[in-house]
Chain A
Amino acid sequence: GAVVSQHPSRVICKSGTSVKIECRSLDFQATTMFWYRQFPKQSLMLMATSNEGSKATYEQGVEKDKFLINHASLTLSTLTVTSAHPEDSSFYICSARDPQGQDNEQFFGPGTRLTVL
């Protein structure tokens, strides 16, 4: 299957700082990528859909000014958590759909564990 990478895998930051997470599709071009967050022992919640060359689409209740998404190329999307606070601590996972894929599946990155002190 297609490969999606994320960087960093783990980040610890102080409250009030901003953190950028990168998501890359390694062997396919993804016009659309997706950002999820997952709290301990809970399922994945879609935060936003990242569209190459246009604005991201945010799910209800997600602050677009706090979670900045940029999809500057067909293989890279970034999520910036601005002015992070302890309640933003979570597991952030990106995914991408391979347009050439046969099964309409999304491929997920390995996730980024964010801890805000």
Chain B
Amino acid sequence: EDQVTQSPEALRLQEGESSSLNCSYTVSGLRGLFWYRQDPGKGPEFLFTLYSAGEEKEKERLKATLTKKESFLHITAPKPEDSATYLCAVQARGTSYGKLTFGQGTILTVHP
């Protein structure tokens, strides 16, 4: 059974204080690992897809990296508007396209 575990559950940062969120996964053959951002009361917003170990992707203050067992979402010099829940999900080979298994998320709060 595919499993995704995110840590920490909650993270409080001061504006400008860089940090990382962790996503550990076990999957029977990884097709893709996805990062999403979710604001309260809204649907998830797509951030990145990573496909193979060693891959990195960046978008503004965010950088996602991938190993064979985990992914990190690095946040550099965060701003209050980066406050949200960050979700990690995996898609396994051999499953229908689109079937995602989500972690429980990390609630990020950035204080000014």
Contact = CB atoms under 8 A, between A and B. Distances in A.
A4 to B, nearest CB: 8
Interface string A30-48: 0010100000001111100
Contacts of B36: 108
Interface residues of B, number: 24
Contacts of A32: 96-98
Contacts of B91: 104
Given A104-B32, A105-B34, A108-B43, A43 B96 contact: no
Interface in B38-89: 41-46, 49, 87, 89
Contacts of B44: 44, 93, 108
Contact of A107 (B46, B87, B102, B105): B46
A106 B43 contact: no
On chain A, which size bracket covers the interface?
20 to 34
Contact of A109 (B31, B43, B46): B43
Interface string A50-93: 00000001000000000000000000000000000000000101
A110 B43 CA distance: 4
B96 A57 contact: yes
Contact of B104 (A4, A42, A104, A113): A42
Contacts of A34: 98-100
A95 interface: yes
Given A44-B87, A111-B41, A105 B103 contact: no
A46 B92 CA distance: 14
A98 B39 CA distance: 22
A44 B100 CA distance: 9
A19 B97 CA distance: 28
B98 A95 contact: yes
B98 A43 contact: no
Interface of B: 31-32, 34, 36, 41-46, 49, 87, 89, 91, 96-105
Closest 8 CB pairs of A and B: A108-B43, A103-B49, A43-B102, A43-B104, A97-B98, A105-B46, A108-B44, A44-B102
